[in-house]
Amino acid sequence: MNQILPRGTGALFAGGMEACWMVGGLRLLETRAAAGALPVPWVMIGLPLAFTLWRLTRALSPFLRLAAGLAGGVVWALVLITFCAFPVDALPEPAWVAGPAGRLFQRQGAPNPIQLTALAAVATWVGGLRLATMRVGFDRLLSEFQFGLPILLFIFFCAAQWDAVLPAPGTVVFAFFTFFLLGMAAARGGDAGGWLRGRMRARWLAALVFNTALVLGVGLMLTAAVTPEALKLALGCLQALWDTMVEWVVWFIAFLARLIPAPEMKTYPMGGGAGPAPQAPSAIADIMQIPDYVRRVAAFIVAAFWIVLFGVCLWRMASQIAAWLRRQMNDLDGAEVETLRGAFRQDVRRLLIRVLRRLRGWITWLGYALGRRPMTDLLPAEAAAVRRLYRRLLAWSAAGGCPRARHQTPHEFLGRLCDRLPEARTKLTLITEHYAGVRYGGRRPDADLVKLLESTWQDVRHMRKRSGIQPKRTIQERE
Amino acid sequence: MHAPRPLDIQTAAERFTSNVGRVIVGRSESVELIFIALLCEGHVLIEDVPGMGKTLLARATARSLDGSFKRIQCTPDLLPSDVVGLHFFNQKLSEFEFRPGPVMANVVLVDEINRAMPRTQSCLLESMQERQVTVDLKTVCLPRPFILMATQNPIELEGTFPLPEAQLDRFLLKLRLGYPTPQDEFGVLDRYQQDNPMDRLESVIGTAELLALQALARGTLIAEPVRRYIVAVTRATREHPDIRLGGSTRSALGLQSASQALATCRGRDYVLPDDVKSLAVPVLSHRIILKTEARLKERTEEDILREILDSVPVPTE
Q: Does B226 touch chain A (CB under 8 A)?
A: yes
Q: Cβ separation of B271 and A440 shorter than 8 Å?
A: yes
For residue B315, report the phi and psi dihedrals to the nearest 5 degrees. Answer: -70, 110
Half-sphere exposure of A279 (CA within 13 A, CB side): 4
* Residue of A435, A440, A444, A476 to mutate when probing chain B, most B C-beta within 10 A: A440
Q: Which residue of B has its CA nearest to A440?
A: B223
Q: Cβ separation of A440 and B273 shorter than 8 Å?
A: yes
CA separation for the pair A12, A76 (Å, rounded): 21
pLDDT in tens, B99-135: 888 888 888 888 888 888 888 888 888 888 888 888 8
Rg value, chain A, Cα: 31
Q: What is the pLDDT of residue B255?
A: 92
Residues on chain A touching B273 (C-beta within 8 angstroms)? 409-410, 440
Least confident of A100-114, A408-422, B36-50: A100-114
- Confidence bin at A275 (pLDDT 50/70/90): low
Q: Cβ separation of A439 and B225 shorter than 8 Å?
A: yes
CA separation for the pair B298, A103 (Å, rounded): 70
Q: Which residue of B has its CA nearest to A392?
A: B317
Q: What is the pLDDT of residue A169?
A: 82
CA separation for the pair A10, A31 (Å, rounded): 32
CA separation for the pair A109, A112 (Å, rounded): 6
Q: What is the pLDDT of residue B259?
A: 93
Give the strand order in the sheet containing B107-111. Answer: B69-73, B107-111, B147-152, B43-47, B171-175
Q: Residue A37 in contact with residue A113, Cβ under 8 Å?
A: yes
Q: Which residue of B has its CA nearest to A376?
A: B317
Q: What is the pLDDT of residue B234?
A: 92
pTM (2 d.p.): 0.53
Distance between B15 CA and the closest CA of chain A, angstroms: 27
Q: Does A437 touch chain B (CB under 8 A)?
A: yes
Question: Does A88 have pLDDT greater than 60?
Answer: no
Smallest Cβ–Cβ distance between A394 and the set B270, B313, B317 belongs to: B317
Residues on chain A touching B299 (C-beta within 8 angstroms)? none
Residues on chain A touching B260 (C-beta within 8 angstroms)? none
Count of all residues that appear for chain A in the document: 479
pLDDT in tens, A422-446: 888 888 899 999 999 988 988 888 8
Least confident of A442-451, B155-164, B266-275: B155-164
Distance between A455 CA and the closest CA of chain B, angstroms: 21
Distance between A131 CA and the closest CA of chain B, angstroms: 36
Mean pLDDT across A109-137: 83
Q: Give B204's contacts (C-beta < 8 A, 6+ positions apart).
A: B12, B15, B16, B19, B64
- Confidence bin at B272 (pLDDT 50/70/90): very high
Q: Residue A57 in contact with residue A69, Cβ under 8 Å?
A: yes
Q: Residue A43 in contact with residue A80, Cβ under 8 Å?
A: yes
Q: Cβ separation of B316 and A412 shorter than 8 Å?
A: no
* ipTM of the prediction: 0.83
